[in-house]
A and B are shown apart, each in its own frame.
Chain A
Amino acid sequence: MNNAVAEQKPILECRDLRKAFGAFEVLRSISFEMQAGVVLSVIGASGSGKSTLLRCLNYLEQPSSGVVFLDGEPIGLRRQADGGLKPDSPANIARMRAQIGMVFQQFNLWPHMSALENVIEAPRQVKGLKRAEAIEIGRHYLGKVNLLDKADAYPARLSGGQQQRVAIARALAMQPKVMLFDEATSALDPELTGEVLDVMRALAEEGTTMVVVTHEMRFARDVSDRVMFLHQGVIEEDGAPAQVFGNPASERCRAFLSSVAH
């Protein structure tokens, strides 16, 4: 998958991304490029900055410095005539975010809306689609996560795995350029992670561009095209899964992988 698109310009690019909370530097100069169609898994210990990195990618977290480009366009910043960058308007930031899907650890479904309403909310409110049109899209994506029969169920009546699949459908319904997964299975009971991972695997096989922050080492190894190991806000290892898992250059990566003992 990688090679076919290797010559294109990157769909996602981080340039010297830094993020500090007070004096604590969570991300320290993160730079990487990513091609469309690639599945990138980000692994690392708790507190290594992986979730913060993901949240910077769609500007839910504002980077302290550095820029994220989506399809060549900077997020949260606007190019000036002189080539400089200045803070963008909330409306433009929202427009950029609409092109990036995000799946949260805690699902974050809206409890006062049914599964289908959750999925059609953004197409209706953000894209301004007509209800019938949005429902058609919504049903398509609910079908994709095998939950068409739960379209009218409210989140409280769904299992964790079902809720997370609805959340995936909700993100897909905006037909984003990139999907971000923030430990999408960490809040699930072990017996429910499988159904969510299956959906993610299917998306990967269809060529969806994905950045997956995960503790599921098997998923990272088997499904992704590229694995990135983060340690204290720095990319310590970045390569094909076979290399990162089989023969990591970084000693810390090696230690981490043996500690999680997959």
Chain B
Amino acid sequence: MLDNFNRFVIPNLGLFMDGLTITVRICAIAFAMAVVMGAIACLIRLYVPVLRYFAIAYIEFSRATPIIVQLLWVNYVWPELFGFPKSVEWAGIIALAIQSSGYLAETFRSGIEGLARGQVEAGLAVGMTRAVAFRRIVAPQAVLVMAPSIINQFAVVVKASTLVSIIAIPDLMYDALKVVNQWFEPIEVLTSVAVLYILTIFALSATAKRVADHFRGKYGLDAQA
């Protein structure tokens, strides 16, 4: 066991780190895009008359299709239809972003709708326009309430990203499978890779949770957490 570990994991640590770098990069970009896209979809769904039906369709579509279908679709169909993405990495990023944006849009919506109506009314009553009330009252509180779900969604992206290896993006999972297929010794390699994923997700959620807890504590909201 230790022997196999020394033979297949240690020499490939450099390779795994390269893979992990790609995983983190893909996830970070995809998630950032998902937040923006999700926020836009959510705002349109909530506040823009007619267009909201397109937003609903987009949200339902993105949540109802398996990530692997979206990956293959964006990677093989989009270049034919739209002439992009030009690289598999961007295809992976876009597919992950599309799926996550759907979930985030719904998270944002529940955060906004869950806010007591009186919060906005208090803003309107002192003479705020709806836009100011949204920016100063709704958005900051919604983010605070939604923080745990948003963090969770990032972990989902990291986990879903293991599938991008099927369109030949050399992420951590891809590198692990490469080594496994070379030597047919999966136990140590896959276990080590699993640990790397766990550590990545754990480090991330722990940091995010600390930030969220800080603000909850500051506003005296810890009881609601």
Contact = CB atoms under 8 A, between A and B. Distances in A.
A122 B127 contact: yes
A245 interface: no
A110 interface: yes
A165 B78 CA distance: 59
- The list of the 7 closest CB pairs from A to B, nearest first, reads A98-B127, A156-B220, A122-B126, A108-B122, A108-B118, A102-B125, A126-B127
Say what secondary structure dominates the interface of chain B. helix
A100 B125 contact: yes
Interface string A83-116: 0000000110011011111101010111110000
Nearest to A180: B125
B195 interface: no
Interface of B: 116, 118-119, 121-130, 132, 136-137, 140-141, 144, 218-221, 223
Contacts of B126: 97-98, 101-102, 121-122, 126, 170-171, 174
Nearest to A109: B122
A106 B125 CA distance: 14
A91 B220 CA distance: 34
A50 to B, nearest CB: 17
B128 A110 contact: no
Contacts of A95: 127
B218 A154 contact: yes
Contacts of B218: 154
B125 A154 contact: no
A1 to B, nearest CB: 26
A90 B128 contact: no
A156 B118 contact: no
A80 interface: no
A125 B132 CA distance: 8
Q: Which of B129, B132, B218 has the most CB of A within 10 A?
A: B129
Given A95-B127, A171-B126, A108 B121 contact: yes
Contact of B219 (A60, A112, A174): A112
A126 B128 contact: yes
A101 B137 CA distance: 18
Nearest to A158: B220
A9 interface: no
B118 A106 contact: yes
A111 B136 contact: no
B51 to A, nearest CB: 19
A79 interface: no
Nearest to A95: B127
Given A104-B125, A154-B220, A167-B122, 4 more contacts: A90-B130, A121-B136, A125-B132, A126-B128
Given A111-B221, A154-B218, A94 B124 contact: yes
23 contacts: A60-B125, A90-B130, A91-B129, A94-B127, A94-B129, A98-B126, A104-B118, A104-B125, A106-B116, A108-B122, A110-B119, A110-B122, A110-B123, A110-B137, A111-B141, A111-B219, A111-B220, A112-B219, A122-B126, A122-B127, A125-B132, A126-B126, A157-B220
B129 A90 contact: yes
Contacts of A99: 127
A58 interface: yes
**Which of B121, B141, B144 has most A Cβ within 10 Å?**
B121
A108 B116 contact: yes
B142 to A, nearest CB: 10
A17 B29 CA distance: 55
Nearest to A118: B122
Given A154-B220, A156-B219, A157-B220, A122 B128 contact: yes
A125 B141 contact: no
